[in-house]
Amino acid sequence: MTRLSLSLAAAATLLACFGPVPPTQRALECNELCAQYIGLGNLQAAEDQCDLAVQFSPQYADPWVNKAVIAKKRGQTAKSKELLIKALRLNNHQSQGYNNLGLIYLEELAFGKAHDNFQHALNINPDYIEARYNLGLAFKGLGDHDNARKAFRTLLHVRPDVADAWAQLGALDMEDGDFEDALESLNKAVQLDPAFTGAWVLLGNLHMELGKPCDAKDSFTSCIEINAESPECRNNIIIAEKKCQLQQKALDDVKARAAGEKTPASEYSLALEARENGRTSDEERSFNRCLKYDKKYALCYFGLFELHRRMADEKKATVDCKNFLKFANETEFPTQVATCKQYVND
């Protein structure tokens, strides 16, 4: 599986059209060596070879593109941009130059300029996979999800093994609330590349959205197995683990209720069931019984708050919220805590 790099490319391209003056054979050889040294990480040797290529053929654009790659790898972004602009003035059919310049604009969040450069690269070479992927990122940055999807899907018709494109489709579907399609795309991404930490994070977050914390925990675990230092994976797995335990406990409580046992969680479940069926009195009784079994059961206070707010009883709703905030763990119930804080403040 080929992973697409989001940094500047390092390959030398021998174009069919070299510009007004064809390069000498020595210039071609030096440029190829320059590209090879970039791939090996020997930037000084690469620069020496690119400088030779330029001496042999000053109008040859490719070594200027590779000199820009070297500058970018050294953290000299402004210099890299200048070199790419010079290369494109020498040869406005240098597709890699447009792609690399677009990547710099993408990093600068100048999505419009990035889009234009990626589109130029594709106009020259419609088979340029990296440029099409990057065009999708530019559309995504512009908030144009339809064209972003089109770019990624077009790429996948040609190269269905690109995990990054599947992950981007999944991320777009998540943002748009198309969770079923997102799940399919993200599962495809991690199947193609089990070491793709970003896709595991997205998949874990999606499972949390779907109310499947145990599945989310498994996804974040896979992420940590790849990168134990990932703060996103480490933080999220703690939340997923706690919610998974609560979910499993709730299932146990439901089973206990079925066996005739009374627990706070079983009464909470009964209250939610009564709410779904429009039985307000039964809902309130179940929440009160829940708190009778355990006066610190935070979710039942929040349930009463929602009930009394629906009934427009602001006094009771405020008391319910204050009790909820007293016993709730903000890590486990971030949305509910934020809601009650806002309500009490208002």
Tens-place pLDDT, residues 203-246: 999 999 888 888 999 999 999 999 888 888 888 888 888 888 88
Q: What distance in Å separates the CA atoms of residue 45 and residue 32, rounded to the nearest whole number?
A: 12
Q: What distance in Å separates the CA atoms of residue 105 and residue 144, rounded to the nearest whole number?
A: 17
> 329 vs 294, 325, 333, CA distance in Å?
16, 8, 6
Given a cut of 90, whether residue 18 has pLDDT beyond it is: no
Q: pLDDT tens for residues 91-139?
A: 999 999 999 999 999 999 999 999 999 999 999 999 999 999 999 999 9
Q: Which CATH architecture has domain 262-345?
A: Alpha Horseshoe (1.25)
Q: pLDDT tens for residues 321-331?
A: 999 999 988 88
In CATH terms, the superfamily for domain 162-260 is Tetratricopeptide repeat domain (1.25.40.10)
Residues 6 or more apart whose CB falls under 8 angstroms from that of 59 comprise 19, 20, 21, 23, 90
Give one word for 109, left, alpha or beta, with left for phi > 0 and alpha for psi -120 to 50.
left
Given a cut of 90, whether residue 34 has pLDDT beyond it is: yes
For the record, the structure tokens of 217 come out as 């925990």
CATH 1.25.40.10 range(s) for the chain read 1-93, 162-260, 262-345
CATH number of 1-93: 1.25.40.10
